[in-house]
Structure 1
Amino acid sequence: MAFFETSDGVKLYYQQKGEGQPIVLVHGWSSDHTAFDQPFEELSKKFNVVSFDLRGHGASDRPEHGLTLKRFASDLEELMEHLNLMNVTLVGHSMGVSTTFEYVKNFGVSRLKAVSLFDMTPKLVNEEDWNLGLYHGKYTREDSLNDLSVINDSLMEFAKPFFKVIVPYLTGEIMEEQLNLVVNGNTPHVLAAMWHAMAVGDYRDVLPQITVPTQIVYGEKSTLYSKETAEYMKEQIPNSEVIPFENCTHLLVAEDVVKTAKVIEELASSMVNS
């Protein structure tokens, strides 16, 4: 197992495999590097692929400090610097997209060659001037505060209704197994802090700063974010395209592993040949 220590003393787990154009995969909230395991293996046949556990997740340290998207972006920059990665195709899913937005906000795109954004919004909470956030425009500031209280009181009580919305096709023992994996594999204070970080984030002004070629990928059956959210992002990101995943929910990376690897490979390959 490989670990990298950040400038504030937190050890992050990462894995690296393959040679060639670098691809960095950033997982979402309550997940870890294994979310990309199958695409990781496929992509590593042609590329230098890195996946890692964000601080507080997976095998990485779970500190009391640095649980912000700004620190996550710094961790990402420090890891890429440590591995001497340039011309990176950066791929994020869900909170991994928020981390990508925060990265561009703080570090620009000089280290990046391309970006792929999987099923996320630039602003989670819906307000008077914004209805393209979580739950197709129905998630409010009050909802986020209520959810934070539930997460801090009982992660399972939050996870049950949340994952029923995310993956409505999972029921019975299979759903129970997934819930137990999420609850037993995570630390509540980390998830609460990062839910707060996403809820207060607003990256609409960052989108035009993503000047490298960008994929905006969304699940056609995602109950979290809409096609309209993806189209809005396309309007704001200069050199971007929208890619729908048919019959997929927010968990599109796992639901269509073959297409996930294919679209990332196509983006990274086009950058090699350009």
Structure 2
Amino acid sequence: MADRYIEVGPGVELFVQDTGNGDPIVCIPGFTFTTEVFSKQVAHFSKTNRVIVLDPRSHGRSTVSLHGNDYVTHGEDLAKVLDALDLELKNVTLMGWSFGCLAVWEYIRQKGTDNIKAMIFVDMPPKSLSIHENEEWVEGKLDDLAAAYNTFLRTPAGQREFITGYTTGVMVQRELNEEELTWIVEQSMKTPYYIAANLFASGVFSDYREEARQAGMSVPTLMVVAEHWGETARAYMNKLAPATEVQVLGGHMMFWEHSETFNALVDEFLKK
């Protein structure tokens, strides 16, 4: 395993974990989370692949920056990491989880898919916000997301409460022990609340439907979605990007809770 820091801007370094050999799989964690959430994927896929996991700016061990805490910049940062690691060789699989998918879609917007072998998106709709009563697969309605922003992401205590509730209510299906819950919440708290609020707003106002469509048309693409909205997500993606393979599994953090099943799905997809 090789840990390194890659400069993506003046005074801003991203922490990158680089493990194994073979065709590279690059993993991008979600909103305020870190490389650690993908430990079970690193252990599994590094037996056959080079697995690269990064902490986005202001996450984990990367530089906490007052600038660039949005998904346009995160897409730029991802491109710089791939370039620094000499990964633009048309054999890279990109895997984003939650808001990490936004960084991947932004990369597509900026760079296209010519250098990508395959893409995996884990439980994120391409458009986050609904302003219509019957809008298809989205994160939520305007009033609900505004309430989360204004109620929770104004203090460290609020961020902790938000992540705790989201973890037990959406991310994980089984009951967590105290150590597990503390570990998950502490991942998020490495990102200061005022930056978490900025990232939340950037993610909520994103619209990457065209990039999701383009990905499905251009390269083999897998989307793994949680059971609580599985059929809605499948129907939506079948219309938006019918070539995208959709699998339904567990909760929002299914790759951690149901890691063996998730890894087997990805193995099967990569063999195609």
TM-score by length of 1: 0.87
Matched, 1:217 2:224: yes
Question: What's the CA shift string for 1:2-49, capped at 9, x where partnerless?
Answer: 110013431000111222211111111121111111111211111111
* Residues 259 and 171 of structure 1, relative CA distance in 2, 3 Å threshold: closer
How many Å separate the matches in 2 of 1:75 and 1:216? 23
Distance 1:176 1:55, change over 3 A: same
What letter is aligned with 1:140? K
- Taking a change above 3 Å as real, the CA distance of residues 110 and 62 of structure 1, as seen in their structure-2 partners, is same
Please name the residue that 1:207 is paired with. 212
Instruction: Indicate yes or no: 2:173 matched with 1:173.
Output: no
Contact 1:124 1:202 in 2 (8 A): yes
RMSD of Structure 2 on Structure 1 (CA): 2.1
Deviation at 1:65, TM superposition (A): 0.2
- State which of 240, 251, 254 in structure 2 corresponds to 1:252: 254
Counterpart contact for 2:5–2:14, Cα < 8 Å: yes
Shifted more, 57-66 versus 154-163: the winner is 154-163
User: In the alignment, is residue 196 of structure 1 matched against residue 201 of structure 2?
Assistant: yes
SS at match of 2:44: helix
5+ unaligned residues in a row in structure 2: which ranges?
Answer: none
1:11 to 13, 35, 43: 13
Matches within 5 A, 1:124-139: 124-128=128-132, 130-134=135-139, 139=140
| Deviation digits for residues 191-237 of structure 1 (CA, Å, limit 9, x no counterpart) | 111111111011122222112110111122x4xx4421233123322
SS of the residue aligned with 2:96? Answer: strand
Aligned to 2:269, the other structure's residue is in SS state helix
Determine if contact 2:129/2:142 at 8 Å carries over to the other structure. yes
Q: Distance in 2 between matches of 1:110 and 1:61?
A: 30
After superposition, residues 131-170 of structure 1 pair within 5 angstroms as 131-134=136-139, 139-149=140-150, 150-153=152-155, 154-166=158-170, 167=172, 169-170=174-175
Aligned pair partner of 2:58 in 56, 59, 62: 56
Residue from 94, 99, 104 that aligns with 2:98: 94
Q: Distance in 2 between matches of 1:108 and 1:52?
A: 21
- 1:65 alignment counterpart: 67
State the distance in 2 between where 1:146 and 1:6 align. 33
Tell me, yes or no, if the aligned pair for 1:216 and 1:230 is still in contact at 8 Å.
no
Distance in 2 of aligned mates of 1:168 and 1:114: 29
| Structure 2 partner of 1:31 | 33
- Please name the residue that 2:76 is paired with: 74
Distance 1:173 1:131, change over 3 A: same
How many residue pairs get aligned? The number is 261
Partner-residue secondary structure (3-state), 2:104 = helix
* Residues 180/237 of structure 1: CA separation in 2 closer, same or farther (3 Å cut): closer
Distance of aligned partners of 1:108 and 1:158 in 2 relative to their CA distance in 1, 3 Å threshold: same
Map Cα deviations across residues 158-217 of structure 1 (whole Å, 9 max, x no partner): 234333321364367357525652454331122111111111011122222112110111
Contact 1:89–1:114 under 8 Å retained in 2: yes
Query: C-alpha distance in 1, partners of 2:181/2:212?
Result: 38
Which shifted more, 57-66 or 1-10?
1-10
Counterpart residue type for residue 18 of structure 1? G
Distance of 1:119 and 1:180 partners within structure 2: 19
- More divergent stretch after superposition (139-148 vs 70-79): 139-148
Does structure 1 residue 241 correspond to structure 2 residue 242? no
Amino acid corresponding to residue 120 of structure 1 in structure 2: M
Q: TM-score, normalised by structure 2?
A: 0.88
| Equivalent-residue separation in structure 2 for 1:176 and 1:25 (angstroms) | 22
Any unmatched runs of 5+ in structure 1? none
Structure 2 CA distance for aligned equivalents of residues 186 and 112 of structure 1: 29
Q: Is the 8 A contact 2:136 2:232 kept in 1?
A: no
